[in-house]
Amino acid sequence: MEVDKKEEIASESSEEQVVNPWEVSAKDGGKIDYDKLIDQFGCQRLDESLIDRVERLTSRQPHVFLRRGVFFAHRDFDLVLDAYERGDKFYLYTGRGPSSEALHLGHLIPFMFTKYLQEAFKVPLVIQLTDDEKCMWKNLSVEESQRLARENAKDIIACGFDVTKTFIFSDFDYVGGAFYKNMVKVAKCVTLNKAMGIFGFSGEDHIGKLSFPPVQAVPSFPSSFPHLFPGKDKLRCLIPCAIDQDPYFRMTRDVAPRLGYSKPALIESSFFPALQAKNGKMSASDPNSAIYVTDTAKDIKNKINRYAFSGGQDSIEKHREIGANLEVDIPVKYLSFFLEDDAELEHIKKEYGEGRMLTGEVKKRLTEVLTGMVERHRMARAAVTDEMVDAFMAVRPLPNMFE
């Protein structure tokens, strides 16, 4: 079995860091040790040979998130590429837990990357909106969770997904039939002790939380979508996600062979840091830690200038002498995510790191990049109608999904 003693601990709750689907933090506000996570979770680092293979197989430049190590770890991504090279297709699965009215930039990262994968490999995609999960974890009403799911769907659609290759579904709306049958099959394979070991559940958690993991597991199985993949029960699934979601899919990969399914493959990202760099990732619960897709140009400028932690020195003289500490500088980290031009990024890092460029100049460039990005997203979202949402969420075949 794949889940050994090392992998059963999803919440790595040592004194140094905690990483699980509900909490990401490092000791004393330090940075997450991703090498340690790879070792503890039992996944593999995404190396240059795999990135080169992606470029060769797709005949296009790898996404900036691949080139710069934002997506840095994987499980069986190499096997997916092997199969693709033999002519076997796969499908993509990712999701969103709708707990806020609007998305912040950290929420957009898996969707931006998934859109690239869909276009590059010409494969279908299922997007799960876990409105049931947020109802249980965030103490939201069923009705409010459903409303937020639909609002978040508009932001997801605004990322540019192909409606002829994409099915978006809400758990409250879709769970039943073949999907529910797979949930029951998974649930019967996971003991209470195993669930507590993987997810860190305690006797104080309500039983709804214990029952949820199979819901997130079974979109990994093509038979959960008989209207999309009839007779394709062996079709492989690739899941782009942040590494904090890994526990769900360690469990899924453990039970899949027992149910006659292929293990889902994963490609996993690091966390998008908060502006203040106090913890492992940007948080929707602290509006000053995040740039939202609803922020105005003035909001973005003020947040970056006021809150973005700088690695620059206390005085211009000292900065000119020793330069910026790029390891802790949030504006540089954000540019590493969103500035497309590799040459410009390297120029900024060199000039800033050697003290010739000042913090204010770097923050100004970041403000320009993020303002343009958010404005483009806002315009795209404004064009998303309720009818478009209905089209993406309609249970229907996708006849051209592999073309």
The enclosing H or E element of 376 equals: helix 359-382
Q: How confident is the model at residue 283 (pLDDT cuts 50, 70, 90)?
A: low
What are 18's strand-pairing partners?
Answer: 25
Instruction: Phi first, then psi: give them for residue 12, nearest 5 degrees.
Output: -80, 80
Write the CA distances from 305 to 309, 318, 357, 366, integer angstroms. 9, 20, 16, 10
What is the distance between the alpha carbons of residues 297 and 368, in angstroms, rounded to a whole number? 9
What is the distance between the alpha carbons of residues 348 and 362, in angstroms, rounded to a whole number? 8
> What is the tally of helices (H) and strands (E) in the chain?
19, 9
The enclosing H or E element of 225 equals: none
Integer Rg of the chain from CA: 21
Stated pTM of the model: 0.92
Determine the pLDDT at residue 97.
93
> By three-state DSSP, how is residue 222 classified?
helix
Determine the pLDDT at residue 18.
82
What is the distance between the alpha carbons of residues 295 and 373, in angstroms, rounded to a whole number? 11
What is the distance between the alpha carbons of residues 122 and 90, in angstroms, rounded to a whole number? 9
pLDDT score of 380 more than 60: yes
Q: How confident is the model at residue 402 (pLDDT cuts 50, 70, 90)?
A: confident
What is the distance between the alpha carbons of residues 24 and 245, in angstroms, rounded to a whole number? 11
> By three-state DSSP, how is residue 242 classified?
strand
Architecture per CATH, 297-383: Orthogonal Bundle (1.10)
Burial zone of 39 (CB within 10 Å; 0-12 exposed, 13-18 middle, 19+ buried): exposed
Burial zone of 193 (CB within 10 Å; 0-12 exposed, 13-18 middle, 19+ buried): exposed
> By three-state DSSP, how is residue 210 classified?
helix
CA 275 to chain centre: 18
pLDDT score of 6 more than 50: no
pLDDT score of 343 more than 90: yes
Q: How confident is the model at residue 28 (pLDDT cuts 50, 70, 90)?
A: low
User: What are 34-46's pLDDT values in tens digits?
Assistant: 888 898 889 999 9
Burial 80-102 (b: 16+ CB within 10 A, else e): bbebbeeeeebbbbbbbbbbbeb
CA 113 to chain centre: 8
Query: What are the boundaries of each domain within the chain?
Result: 30-272, 297-383
Strands (E), 250-338: 265-269
What is the distance between the alpha carbons of residues 117 and 125, in angstroms, rounded to a whole number? 10
What are 217's strand-pairing partners?
Answer: none
pLDDT score of 14 more than 70: no
Q: How confident is the model at residue 31 (pLDDT cuts 50, 70, 90)?
A: confident
Determine the pLDDT at residue 12.
44
Comparing CA positions, the residue from 365, 304, 301 lying closest to residue 339 is: 365
Looking at per-residue pLDDT, the higher value among 17 and 112 belongs to 112
Across the range 182-195, mean pLDDT stands at 95
- Is 3.40.50.620 the CATH classification of the domain at 30-272? yes
User: Given strand 71-75, what is the order of strands in its sheet?
Assistant: 44-45, 71-75, 265-269, 236-242, 90-96, 125-129, 166-170
**Are the C-beta atoms of 222 and 32 separated by less than 8 Å?**
no
